[in-house]
Structure 1
Amino acid sequence: MSRVGRLRRAASARPDALPETPDRWARVRDVVAVVLLAVTAVLTAWSGFESSKWGGEMSIAFSRASTARIEAARYADDANAARDVDLQTFSLWLEAYAQDDTQLLEFVESRFTPHFAEAFDLWIAERPLQNPDAAPSPFALEEYVPPGEAEAAAADERADGLFDEALRNNQRGDDYTLLTVLFALVLFFAAIAERPRAPGTRWALLIGAGTLAVAGIVLLAMFPKII
């Protein structure tokens, strides 16, 4: 028997002597898919957590803004009540002045509230009967500030700030919700990457999933966080 014949006979006697070469790229692809799935699953959960936390912050800010609005309304009611009293007192003073009733003038002036008395004195100092540039009444002076007016303005300003904060928190929650959807797409593409038979298609799906994952990670790093 020739040498070639002996080699053929030996090969036929041991059919498993030449095993198929394993596809090492398939293994690499499997590892990449597993890592991508694991990392993205964690990031998806984190994005959902952040979205929930920002939603809670939004609710708290809206509640605080409503409280500040109620507080502003209460102070505004106090200021309006004080202004009504001053208007009635000043009307009585004008009536006494028109009648040249000195006794009634003194009585009314003694009943002026402190905040109105200050504005009244400044108004009288402008000599409104002789000076055409004088304020039409003490109520037109910036020095006239009834109790509660400044507090109402401050509460309104605080409410505006809290309302704006609530809107920002709402937007942040929406951003994390969209990020959760983005990571869900990564999970989807990574999960179906092994379904096609063509290796090129598998790699294309994995590369697409990886690109989305990188974009999501960049956005996640940029977004504000609540820990």
Structure 2
Amino acid sequence: MAENPPDGTAPRRWAEAREILAVFLLAITAILTAWCGFESSKWGGQMSIQFSQASAARIQSVDFASASRDARAVDLAIYTEWILATARGDVALAEYISARFSPAFAIAFDDWQADGQELESPFREPSYVPAGSEEAAAAAARADETFDAALESNQRGDNYSILTVLFALVLFFTAMAQRSTSSFAGWFLLGLGVLVAVAGMIILATFPVLV
């Protein structure tokens, strides 16, 4: 009685299963790679916008600071005239000048007199806030905050770019698995690709999304 030839169905099925898994892994990895590229581009654009906003806020801060210095110079000039009038004993002129103090300096001047003129001048009073000072500080703080946000956006874009390298490694392992003539080597390389892909997807899930 003749012997039956060896059954090759099982090896073929394993080879087909490996081929299907490889194709599925390639498709998923291609989609994830495209998504990472998209997110990297979006975060790069966000970074550019934030840097522009930080620059604009910094310019505003400089403008307000300049206005504050000008206001302080005007207050100082008027206060000097008040000192000269007071030194000459010209009460009428001193009152005329004090009536023309700027609102910010008038508050500090009243506090200075109420404190018995203990400080060197009204400019030393904490209540003296020349026009533009608060706006300059707010614009500077906004510029710093936006600049830090831009750096964070840049880092997020870099993180997505680095992840594309990880998914490229998955593509490499999967391609080598398909070209391998050894079943063991093929499954080993494909397994490595799956592990790297899973690790990449876990990392990707922790990244913020910008649409």
- Same structural fold, with TM-score higher than 0.5 when normalized by the shorter chain: yes
Per-residue deviation, 1:75: 1.1
Task: Name the residue aligned to 1:4.
Answer: none
* Correspondent of 1:44 among 33, 40, 47: 33
Q: How does 1:45-64 map to 2 (within 5 A)?
A: 45-64=34-53
Paired amino acid for 2:160: Y
Task: Name the residue aligned to 2:85.
Answer: 96
CA distance in 2, matches of 1:193, 1:114: 79
Per-residue deviation, 1:40: 0.3
Per-residue deviation, 1:135: 2.3
CA distance in 2, matches of 1:84, 1:19: 102
Q: How does 1:14-33 map to 2 (within 5 A)?
A: 18=5, 20-22=7-9, 23=11, 24-33=13-22
Which has the higher mean CA deviation after the structures are superposed, 35-44 or 152-161?
152-161
CA distance in 2, matches of 1:47, 1:61: 21
Instruction: Please tell me whether Structure 1 or Structure 2 has the larger radius of gyration of its CA atoms.
Output: 1
Per-residue deviation, 1:20: 4.8
CA distance in 2, matches of 1:66, 1:175: 25
Task: Name the residue aligned to 1:141.
Answer: 125
CA distance in 2, matches of 1:140, 1:209: 70
Paired amino acid for 1:148: G
Which has the higher mean CA deviation after the structures are superposed, 209-218 or 136-145?
136-145
SS, match of residue 173 in structure 1: helix
SS, match of residue 144 in structure 1: coil
Per-residue deviation, 1:74: 1.2
- Aligned residues: percent identity? 51
Which has the higher mean CA deviation after the structures are superposed, 69-78 or 175-184?
69-78
Per-residue deviation, 1:18: 4.1
Task: Name the residue aligned to 1:223.
Answer: 207
Task: Name the residue aligned to 2:149.
Answer: 165
How many residue pairs are counted as aligned between the two chains? 209
Q: How does 1:115-130 map to 2 (within 5 A)?
A: 115-128=104-117
Task: Name the residue aligned to 1:131.
Answer: none
Task: Name the residue aligned to 2:185.
Answer: 201
Q: What do residues 41-91 of structure 1 show as CA deviations (whole Å, max 9, x unaligned)?
A: 000000000000000000011111111111111111111111100011111
Per-residue deviation, 1:98: 2.3
Which has the higher mean CA deviation after the structures are superposed, 30-39 or 104-113?
104-113
Per-residue deviation, 1:138: 1.0
SS, match of residue 145 in structure 1: coil
* Correspondent of 1:189 among 162, 173, 180: 173
Structure 2 residue runs without a partner (length 5+): none
CA distance in 2, matches of 1:210, 1:142: 66
CA distance in 2, matches of 1:78, 1:36: 62
* Correspondent of 2:63 among 71, 74, 85: 74
TM-score (normalizing by structure 2): 0.93
SS, match of residue 101 in structure 2: coil
Task: Name the residue aligned to 1:3.
Answer: none
Per-residue deviation, 1:19: 7.0
CA distance in 2, matches of 1:139, 1:204: 78
Which has the higher mean CA deviation after the structures are superposed, 170-179 or 189-198?
189-198
Paired amino acid for 1:208: L
TM-score (normalizing by structure 1): 0.87
CA distance in 2, matches of 1:28, 1:71: 64
CA distance in 2, matches of 1:21, 1:109: 107
